[in-house]
Amino acid sequence: MAKPVAAIVGRPNVGKSTLFNKLVGSRISIVEDTPGVTRDRILFEMEWNGRGIYLIDTGGIEPNSEDVLLKQMREQAMLAIEMADVILFMLDVKSGLMPEDRDIAMMLKMSGKPILPIVNKVDSVGDLPLAFYEFYELGFEEELIPLSSLHGTGTGDLLDRILELAPSDEAFGEEEDWVRVAVIGKPNVGKSSIVNRLIGEERCIVADMAGTTRDAIDTRFENEFGKYVFIDTAGIRRQSRVEDRLERFSVMRAKLAIERSDVCLILIDAKEGITEQDEKIAGLAHEAGKASVIVVNKWDAVEKDTDSVKQYTEKIVNALSYMQYAPLCFLSAKTGQRVDRLFPLINEVYEQSVLRISTGMLNDVLADATARVQPPSDKGKRLKIYYWTQLSIQPPTFVIFCNSAELFHFSYQRYLENQLRSVFGFRGTPIRFIIRQKEDTN
């Protein structure tokens, strides 16, 4: 299920990062009593009353500053506002209503998004300070919310209100029958070209220039293979080279696109070969537990012989040893060569990621696997695996009950995963194991 996004915005030094850390329950953002410390948006997934929320911390907005850094911070905050479902506008009761607050309020109202005005630093219990009432001049539809980001008072009411204003689960679930496909990769590997070729329309901007697609763009498409939502993401650059604040936002947007996808198409440039950055991008999809297809684009531009596919496959398998479950597809978005093979692959890996296996069938496989290769032992104590059962899907996740988590070496987990795959397939999807230690009652 997709989750609403709430962005914390305001002028510098009103306590945005302190509130962010209080809400997510850990010191994620740097907090310092100096304007401009939080330069990049920080995104964190949290939960409140059983619903997930993506929370974004932004740098302070100084609407009229010509300082280069502050202008960049203003731009990134504006992009976070565009991305948000609910905007948390932070104000400071100790400094009172400032001209910058008025300018920011006017800017936020133009966004058309729900805005929660939060008056921070109301640290004492009892009557509200007179300065609190000044903020009613801003004319927001929502009531002012007094809170103390330092002590956490008022944060529960704030979170309740965020969920009331955010789109409902039903709104997020309206694409339940559609397979959501994120197209990810470095800049200029042909992501937009692939989407255009798949849907047969020029829906995405295509240019021979890195970074053309700034944001994730959703395109619905239905054909004889099924119903799809293609999410064409901005290219993910090396973190050390991401100097443009807009590009940093694009990386965050791409990560969110991965999170809300069912299937990831991981694009690799055939002319460049697989790079360290490709490995990191593939790792994002793997760590997120997403079904994936590795797509080698621009195959038409590579000089080939009879062993080209085999040699290229070996290089990818070696580089992405943790993703050997993912099928490969060599194609050309430019010529359309083999692009039609993607739809069956997308369907296959999606179906494998939602596959459920009964506990009885699982334990038949377990009995056979442990008979073939005995579980490991150490100092006279042998690992006993009592049973396993499937906990969830996307990715398929299994709970294994045993007598010693310490004895359950990674190599034996890998062996059991291979046995699962040999019997049930699970092609294109990672598999997760949760090890539970249980006292031996025998």
Q: Does the pLDDT of residue 74 top 90, yes or no? A: no
- Average pLDDT score over residue span 389-412: 94
Q: Does the pLDDT of residue 250 top 70, yes or no? A: no
What is the residue-wise DSSP string for 72-122? HHHHHHHHHHHH-SEEEEEEETTT-S-HHHHHHHHHHHTTTS-EEEEEE--
- Average pLDDT score over residue span 272-296: 92
pLDDT digits (tens, 9 = 90+) for 189-227: 888 888 888 888 644 433 333 333 334 456 778 889 998
Residue 219: strand pairing partners: 230
- Residue 62's closest CA among 90, 87, 41, 35? 35
Amino acid at residue number 134? E
What size, in residues, is the chain?
442
Domains of the chain from N-terminus onward: 5-171 (3.40.50.300), 177-353 (3.40.50.300), 359-437 (3.30.300.20)
- Average pLDDT score over residue span 298-326: 90
When pLDDT is cut at 50, 70 and 90, the band that residue 408 belongs to is very high
pLDDT digits (tens, 9 = 90+) for 17-50: 888 888 877 443 333 333 333 333 366 778 888 8
Residue 356: strand pairing partners: none
pLDDT digits (tens, 9 = 90+) for 350-377: 999 999 999 999 999 999 999 999 999 9
Lowest mean per-residue pLDDT among 95-99, 125-129, 193-197, 205-209: 205-209
- Average pLDDT score over residue span 377-383: 90
Decide: 395 and 289 in contact? Cβ < 8 Å. Answer: yes
Q: Does the pLDDT of residue 179 top 80, yes or no? A: yes
- Average pLDDT score over residue span 410-433: 96
When pLDDT is cut at 50, 70 and 90, the band that residue 243 belongs to is very low
When pLDDT is cut at 50, 70 and 90, the band that residue 53 belongs to is confident
Between 195 and 247, residue with greater pLDDT: 195
395 cis-preceded (ω within 30 degrees of 0): yes
Q: Does the pLDDT of residue 303 top 70, yes or no? A: yes
Q: Which pLDDT score is estimated for 236?
A: 55
Between 197 and 125, residue with greater pLDDT: 197
Q: Indicate the Cα dihedral angle 80, 236, 71, 7, nearest 10°.
A: 10
Euclidean distance between CA atoms 354 and 365, whole angstroms = 19
Decide: 80 and 8 in contact? Cβ < 8 Å. Answer: no
When pLDDT is cut at 50, 70 and 90, the band that residue 80 belongs to is low
Lowest mean per-residue pLDDT among 249-253, 269-273, 331-335: 249-253
When pLDDT is cut at 50, 70 and 90, the band that residue 337 belongs to is very high
- Residue 233's closest CA among 197, 286, 272, 194? 194
- The distance from CA 353 to its chain's CA centroid, rounded to whole angstroms, is 17
When pLDDT is cut at 50, 70 and 90, the band that residue 139 belongs to is very high
Phi and psi at residue 132, to the nearest 5°:
-60, -40
Phi and psi at residue 289, to the nearest 5°:
75, 30
Euclidean distance between CA atoms 327 and 308, whole angstroms = 17
